[in-house]
Amino acid sequence: MEPSVIALLVSAGGIVVLLIFVYVTFLLCPAAYLRAYNWYQRRKLGLVTRFSHSGSYRFCYFTSVTPAVNTPSLLLLHGFSATKDMWLPLIKYLPKNQHVVAMDMPGHGGTARTVDDNYSIECQVTRVHQFVQSIGLDKSPFHLVGTSMGGNVAGVYAARYPTYLSNVTLICPAGLVYPKDSEFVTLLKELEGSQNTDSIPLIPTTVQEYENMMRLCFHKSLNLPRPVLRGLLSERIPNNGFYKEVFMELIHEESRHSLQENLNLITTPLQVIWGKEDKLLDVSGTTVVQAVLPNCRVELLDNCGHSVSMERPRKAAKLIMDFMSVGEVNNLDVKKHS
C-alpha cells in the first residue's frame, strides 16, 4: 500500500477510536460533558462567571459582559437543587444586547454553603438582596425572574423591595395555596402521612427515583440512556443531605405559603408564566394569584411541564421581553393568554 493510504487508514482508525472514547466517557461521566457544554454555551452567549461577596458570604453568578443600556437588567433565580446554568436555553433566545445576570441560589452551585445558613424563603430573600447590592444591581430598577423555589423567592422579594424592581416574572412559582393538588403534592402528602422522609421525590437516590423525578419535571419524557441517568444521579448524591435540609425548610410552615401570604404586598407589574402540564406545582396556582392581583398578566403554555426554561425556552424568553416593553407601546391591557 502507498504510504498516503496507510496514513489515511491510521488516521481514520484514530478517529474511530476517538469517537468510541468520547461515547464511552459520555456514558460514564455525562456530568463532565454537561459542564463542558454549559461552559461552551456561556462563552458563546457572551456570559462570564464571577463571584461577589457580602461580608464573608460568597455569591457565584454569571453576567453579560456588556452592561445594561436601554432595558432594565434581568436577574434570574433558579429552582430547588438546580443551578444558574438551567437558564442557558432561555438566555439563548433573549436579544443579544439584553443585560442578564443569573445567580446560584444560597448553598447551590458556586454560592456559599455554610453550616448555619437558613434556607427559609425570607432568609433567601435577604441573601438575594445582599447579592443585588454586592454587584450594584440596586442602582436602577431591574426585572426579576424566578422559577419554582426561585419564583417563591422572587415574589416575596417584590413584596419586600418594590423600589428596586421594574417588573417581576414568576414561572411556575412555589409558595402558593394551589386549589388543585399536583401529582407531586399528592405524593408528598402520602409521605407526610407515613412520616417517611427517605424518599422525597425531588431527592432521588436510585436511577429509578431519578427517572421519576425527571418524569415529574418534564411534560415530554427525555428517555435518557441508563448510564447517563446513573452519571447525572451520582453528581447529585453528594448534595442530598443539603437538598434535604433545604427541602424540609421549604415545606416548613414558615415558607410553604410565603408567596401566597405576600401577594397582597406586590405592587410591581407582575407576570406569571406556567406550563399547563406541570406535574410538580399545579397550574391552578395562577387562579389564586389572579384572585389577589387581578391586573397580573398570566401566560399558560401548551405542551409544557414544570421545566419551562428547558421545554419552551423561546416562548418564555419572548413573553418576558414583551412584558418588559409593554408600557413603551401603550398602556392598554393586553391579551391574557397565549
Ligand X SMILES: *[C@@H]1O[C@H](CO)[C@@H](O)[C@H](O)[C@H]1NC(C)=O
Q: Which residues bind ligand X (CB under 6 A)?
A: 72, 118, 120, 122-123, 166-167, 254, 269, 323-324, 326-328
- Please indicate whether residue 134 is annotated as part of the active site: no
In the complex, the smallest distance separating the C-beta of residue 264 from ligand X, rounded to whole angstroms, is 18
Residue whose cell numbers read 440596586: 138
Options 278, 282, 307, 309, the catalytic residue? 278
In the complex, the smallest distance separating the C-beta of residue 18 from ligand X, rounded to whole angstroms, is 50
Q: What are phi and psi of 332, to 5 degrees?
A: -65, 150
In the complex, the smallest distance separating the C-beta of residue 310 from ligand X, rounded to whole angstroms, is 25
Q: Which is nearer to ligand X, 72 or 150 (CB)?
A: 72
Options 64, 81, 134, 148, the catalytic residue? 148
- Please indicate whether residue 120 is annotated as part of the active site: no
Q: Rounded to an integer, what distance in angstroms lies between the CA atom of residue 259 and that of residue 290?
A: 13
Q: Which is nearer to ligand X, 213 or 259 (CB)?
A: 259
Q: What are phi and psi of 99, to 5 degrees?
A: -75, 125
Alpha helices in 46-148 (DSSP H): 88-91, 121-134
What is each CA distance from 46 to 64, 88, 89, 90, in whole angstroms? 6, 11, 14, 14
In the complex, the smallest distance separating the C-beta of residue 258 from ligand X, rounded to whole angstroms, is 9
Q: Which is nearer to ligand X, 52 or 111 (CB)?
A: 111
Q: Is 304 helix (H, G, I), strand (E, B) or coil?
A: coil
Q: Which is nearer to ligand X, 2 or 328 (CB)?
A: 328
Q: Is 176 helix (H, G, I), strand (E, B) or coil?
A: coil
Look at the alpha carbons of 279, 281, 287, 293 in this order and tell me if their dihedral is positive or negative.
Answer: negative
Options 81, 85, 306, 309, the catalytic residue? 306
In the complex, the smallest distance separating the C-beta of residue 43 from ligand X, rounded to whole angstroms, is 30
Return the axis-axis angle of helices 121-134 and 149-160, rounded to nearest 10°.
70
Q: Is 179 helix (H, G, I), strand (E, B) or coil?
A: coil
In the complex, the smallest distance separating the C-beta of residue 274 from ligand X, rounded to whole angstroms, is 17
- Please indicate whether residue 181 is annotated as part of the active site: no
Q: Rounded to an integer, what distance in angstroms lies between the CA atom of residue 131 and that of residue 120?
A: 17
Q: Which is nearer to ligand X, 249 or 278 (CB)?
A: 249
Contacts by 293-298, CB closer than 8 A, 24 or more apart = 293/263, 293/266, 295/269, 295/270, 295/333, 296/270, 296/271, 296/272, 297/269, 297/270, 297/271, 297/272, 297/323, 297/334, 297/336, 298/271, 298/272, 298/274, 298/336, 298/337
Residue nearest to ligand X (CB): 327
Q: Which is nearer to ligand X, 120 or 130 (CB)?
A: 120
Active centre residues (catalytic) = 148, 278, 306
